Amino acid sequence: MSSRTTDQRAVLLALSDTTVALAFARILDARSHSSIVAECALEVLEGEPSDTFIADLSSTPSEDFAIGGLDLLEDLHSLGLYPHAILIAGAETTTSDYQRAARLGVDVILERPLRPEALVEAVEAPRTEPDRPMTRYVERGLGSASSGMHILLAAEHGAAEAAARDLIGWCARCEIVPSTRARIGTSVAETIQNCVDHGAQQIELTACLDRSMLTVTIEDDGPGFEAVRYLSADALDASSGLGRMHSLAENVSVRSELGGGTAVTLEFRVTTADFEDGVRIDLSELDFFSPETSKELLATLSEDPDAPVILSPALAVVVGRMLMGPDPSRVLSEALWS
């Protein structure tokens, strides 16, 4: 092992085996690094910020640490701290731990039994400025014949709820009825949470609305999977996220390959305020009328008072008052007092 180092590192070790952590700290200190061995989670979260964080690749608490190494790293991120992360995998490490490490942007994963030379090499490896989680970026477009929406967001905690809220808010502005919005939001949240859970870093959502169909495509940069193996009929039941998506959307298609990310396309048949439907005009699930809807509805009822319009009780009151028009005496009184 070379005795020379390039840059001095401030290293924080939070290993379940304190004896091993102290041994590694002595080796790093001998190479002019500054090492601190934390003996509990509080020392990690309230201590001085470090350049490098070394912990167990595990979600399982240990005798000294009330939370696992992955939880410690996530808590550091929540404090705005993003050290170069080196996690050490052992017999207790699970597949979900590896996936979560990828989602958290872990730089290096080493396996036990661990050679000191490998740890030193990982600590001293050249590095760039660590990435910070990006905030979600939303583009919306509304048009008469076609509408679209685009969301770009980091695959992090809360991403599923954030994207679903953005999308169903846009759907409400497109006058898609509440029951359909609920199906859309639930399906999209399932899909994005699946991206987060399986190691994606970035997620892109695109939605396109035509007269009767909303198409939502969700793409991620995760590790991907063998689609044929996982999309078998056995997996399509309500106990799986994919099964729930199939239950809620008219069509679901999944494209994925190992190392190539995943793309999921969801299609929803939508109900909007459509005055060109000769059979019926169903406005029963609208929360309120937009100005354009009010004008079209009044024009329709003016031409045909028996038009097949379906309204909720609350909206029926609104329509009745609009059809009656303003009270002339009240309008005159307000004009005189103004």
Average pLDDT over residues 204-215: 88
pLDDT range class, residue 135, cuts 50, 70, 90: very low
CA angle 26, 110, 193 (to 5 degrees): 130
Looking at per-residue pLDDT, the higher value among 272 and 248 belongs to: 248
CA distance 210 to 190: 23
Q: 149-153, 195-199, 247-251, 331-335: lowest mean pLDDT where?
A: 331-335
Q: Which backbone phi and psi does 256 adopt, to 5 degrees?
A: -160, 155
Element (H, E) at 140: strand 137-141
Residue 271's pLDDT is 66
Residue 131's pLDDT is 47
CATH 3.40.50.2300 for domain 137-269, yes or no, is no
CA distance 105 to 39: 24
DSSP letters of 282-301? E-TT-SS--HHHHHHHHHHH
Q: Do domains 10-124 and 137-269 have the same CATH topology?
A: no
Q: What's the 3-state SS for 77-109?
A: HHCCCCCEEEEEECCCCCHHHHHHHHHCCCCEE
User: For residue 115, what are the contacts with CB-CB under 8 A and spacing of at least 6?
Assistant: none
Q: What percent of the chain has pLDDT over 90?
A: 19
CA distance 258 to 235: 19
For residue 196, pLDDT over 80 is answered with yes
Q: What percent of the chain has pLDDT over 70?
A: 80
Residue 123's pLDDT is 92
Q: What is the pLDDT of residues 6-20, one digit of tens each?
A: 578 999 999 988 899
Counting every residue, how long is the chain?
A: 338
CA distance 203 to 161: 13
pLDDT range class, residue 328, cuts 50, 70, 90: low
Domain-wise residue ranges, the chain: 10-124, 137-269, 281-337
Q: What is the pLDDT of residues 15-73, one digit of tens each?
A: 988 899 999 999 999 999 999 999 888 888 888 889 999 999 887 777 767 778 888 88
Does residue 205 contact residue 218 with C-beta atoms inside 8 Å?
Answer: yes
Average pLDDT over residues 226-232: 60
Strands 34-37 and 10-14: parallel
User: What is this structure's pTM?
Assistant: 0.47
pLDDT range class, residue 276, cuts 50, 70, 90: low
Domain 10-124 top-level CATH class: alpha beta
Count of C-beta atoms within a 10 Å radius of residue 34:
15
Residue 7's pLDDT is 79
Arithmetic mean of pLDDT over the chain? 79
Does residue 163 contact residue 205 with C-beta atoms inside 8 Å?
Answer: yes
